[in-house]
Amino acid sequence: MNKIPPLDLTKQYKQISTEVEASVLDILRSGRYIGGATVAQFEQEFADYIGTTHGIGCNSGTDALYLALRALNIGEGDEVITTPFTFIATTEIVVRTGATPVLVDIDESFNFDLDRVEAAITPKTKAILPVHLFGHPVNMTRLMEIAQAHNLYVIEDCAQATGAEWAGQKVGCVGHVGCFSFFPTKNLGACGDGGAIVTNDPAIAKTLRVLKEHGMTSRYHHEETGINSRLDALQAAILSIKLRHLDTWNQGRAQVAERYEQLLSMVPGIQLPAQSLEGKEVWNQYTIRINNGGQPGATVRDRVRNQLQERGISSMVYYPIPLHLQPVYKTLGYRPGQLPHAERAADEVLSLPMYPELSLEEQQQIAYGLKDSLSLREKVAS
């Protein structure tokens, strides 16, 4: 029985190791490790790929979001509408600017419910922050209509969705600003941390470049209180190489997702991820839901996960606690039961192994293990 991890980056690296190692050595020999032509080249390549005029590299996806909010002058007294079902970086940066995150419940896509988004708009709302969770694009057509009707900014959190599309456009190029993470587990991942912001607005791009360099407009001349958030040349060189393979890798993920659907479509007790007709998913995660059979909390899901682990199959839970119930946000005043769809998802979601190199045999092993675990659950319940 093979052990199957949630993600195996070594298989990807073998495909490009010669090219990556040669490029890294060139950077090391150059002595130019921060900034320079290598970073500028990747920034433009990435902007071209997404379909924007400007691309700005930075230290992480978290910094990308923070810098975007700062560039749009979002701060004290402002509200930013976003989702409770995401990694905490999405709301963390809102709080860091002094603004208040307003959390609205999700729908079956795991992305926020656009009806609830519109209902949450107040005179204090300044921006909407959609998260294209697990590589599934938000309905950007409707979201932009809502934003334009209320004169709001849209900042796209594309951390898990590089290459995903809505209505033929890459996510990140539709809103005012698109923010990306190059954390190693992402579809386009660095060999370390990294991030980028894209925009078609030259004034926003200019502000972003100042803010990420200590607010410096020229050497030792500072007009803003900025931060130090730069993309290293080593990471930029690696990302340029990986970017050329990204569409092929994303297609591989789509094939893995299609096989999962074939293998699991008739398995009772689970719900497969929703897909949209206008969207193109890139499957950063393949996340199913385990029916808890009326039992409280995540008991059933966790039992199934443990049984898979005993069979050598690793899985992940993204995310076990929705953000409105995190202790750090107690002052926001949300109560258990207030966002029930996010809370239910937190109890039911299970992300199966997902990477382009996952073989049919490995997926069959995962499917059989899942069926056995669910059958055992039914026996215990009866």
Confidence of residue 382 (pLDDT cuts 50, 70, 90): very low
Would you say 56 and 290 are in contact if contact means Cβ atoms under 8 Å apart? no
Percentage above 70 pLDDT, the chain: 97
pLDDT in tens, 123-180: 999 999 999 999 999 999 999 999 999 999 999 999 999 999 999 999 999 999 999 9
Q: In what order do the strands lie in the sheet with 125-128?
A: 54-58, 195-199, 177-181, 153-157, 125-128, 79-82, 100-103
Does the pLDDT of residue 380 top 90, yes or no?
no
Among candidate residues 241, 211, 209, 207, the one with its CA nearest the CA of residue 45: 241
Strands 169-170, 165-166: pairing kind: antiparallel
Confidence of residue 295 (pLDDT cuts 50, 70, 90): confident
**DSSP letter (8 states) at residue 360:** H
**Amino acid present at 330:** K
Would you say 241 and 21 are in contact if contact means Cβ atoms under 8 Å apart? no
Confidence of residue 264 (pLDDT cuts 50, 70, 90): very high
pLDDT in tens, 226-247: 999 999 999 999 999 999 999 9
CA 167, CA 149: separation in Å to the nearest integer? 20
Higher pLDDT, 224 or 40: 40
Confidence of residue 354 (pLDDT cuts 50, 70, 90): very high
The pLDDT of 345-368, averaged and rounded, is 97
pLDDT in tens, 245-257: 999 999 999 999 9
pLDDT in tens, 277-289: 899 999 999 999 9
